[in-house]
Amino acid sequence: MNDETWAFGSLANLYADQGHLSEAQAMYQRALQGKEKAWGPDHTSTLDTVNNLGLLYADQGRLGEAEAMYQRALQGYKKALGDDMVKTYPPALNTLGNLGNLLREQGKGEAANGYYTRAEYGARIVNGVGSPRHARIVAKLQTVS
C-alpha cells in the first residue's frame, strides 16, 4: 500500500468525524480501491475499511448497504483468519457490534442479539469480564433481551 492510500483512509476518518459524509465516502472508496489493489479484498486492513464504509452508510441512512458492508467484512475476516481466530479479533468484534447496532435500530432484536452475543464472547476473552468494552456489549445485550 502506498502513502496515498493511507492518506485517503485518514482523510475519510477525519471527514466522517466532522460530519462531512459525502467527502468521507469518496475517501473511503479511494482507500478501499487502493487496499484491494495492494493486498486483495480479504486482507484485514482492507476489511477494516469495509467496516468503516458500513459505519458511514449507516450514518447516511443507507441501511441495506451498511449491512452488506458489515457482512462482507465478517466473511472476509473469517476467510483471512479462520473461524476460531475471528471470534477474538478486535476489528471483527467491532463489526459484530456494528451489525448488532444496525439490526437493533431496525427493530430486529433477535438478530441483533446473536451478533451482540458473539461480540460479548470475544470481548470477554480479549478484554476480560468487567472491562469497559465488555460492559458496553453486555449493556447492549440487555437492551434486546
- What pLDDT is stored for residue 137 in this prediction? 93
The predicted-structure confidence for 47-57, as pLDDT tens digits, reads as follows 999 999 999 99
Under CATH, which architecture does the 3-144 domain have? Answer: Alpha Horseshoe (1.25)
CA gap 97, 114 in Å, rounded = 10
Instruction: Give the pLDDT band of residue 18 (cuts 50, 70, 90).
Output: very high
**Residue partners of 93: CB distance under 8 A and separation at least 6:** 119, 122, 123, 126
Q: Grid coordinates in use for 107? A: 427493530
- Following DSSP, what letter does each residue of 29-50 receive, concatenated? HHHHHHHHHHH-TTSHHHHHHH
pLDDT for the residue 59: 95
pTM of the model: 0.92
Segment 102-111 shows an average pLDDT of: 95
pLDDT tens digit sequence for 38-95 = 999 999 999 999 999 999 999 999 999 999 999 999 999 999 999 888 899 999 999 9
Higher pLDDT, 83 or 29: 29
What is the longest distance spanned by two Cα atoms in the chain? 45
Determine the pLDDT at residue 83: 86
Q: How confident is the model at residue 3 (pLDDT cuts 50, 70, 90)?
A: confident
| pLDDT for 123 beyond 70 | yes
For the chain, what are the domain ranges? 3-144
Q: Quote the CA–CA distance of 11 and 31 in Å, as a whole number.
A: 9
